[in-house]
Amino acid sequence: MAVQSNETTVNESYAVTIPAAVREDLDLEPGDRLQWEIDDGALVATIIRERHGGAADLDPVDMGKTDAVAVTEEYEWS
């Protein structure tokens, strides 16, 4: 893994912008989170992926015929 050096500035509200090259190399997307840690004086950010629609590529599973509607209709409300 090659070491990449990029620099960014902490703004007045303590926010930073992740440089485009870093975002692209790490495949960061909106919704991903970063977990910040300090390790022997170094700042370490771990990516926590929060991908929405991650199941969109999955095929539906045929669950066969169910009797859920029949059970609901037989229930007696008190």
pLDDT value, residue 23:
93
Domain extent, residue 18, equals 10-55
Mean pLDDT, range 2-8, rounded to an integer:
82
Number of domains in the chain: 1
pLDDT value, residue 66:
64
| 49 part of a folded domain | yes
| 74 part of a folded domain | no
Query: What CATH number corresponds to the domain at position 15?
Result: 2.10.260
- Tell me the whole-structure pTM to 2 decimals: 0.55
| 60 part of a folded domain | no
pLDDT value, residue 75:
57
| 37 part of a folded domain | yes
> What string of DSSP letters covers 5-58?
-------TTS--PPPHHHHHHHT--TT-EEEEEEETTEEEEEEE---TTTTTTS
pLDDT digits (tens, 9 = 90+) for 6-62: 899 999 999 999 999 999 999 999 889 999 999 999 999 999 987 666 666 777 777
| 75 part of a folded domain | no
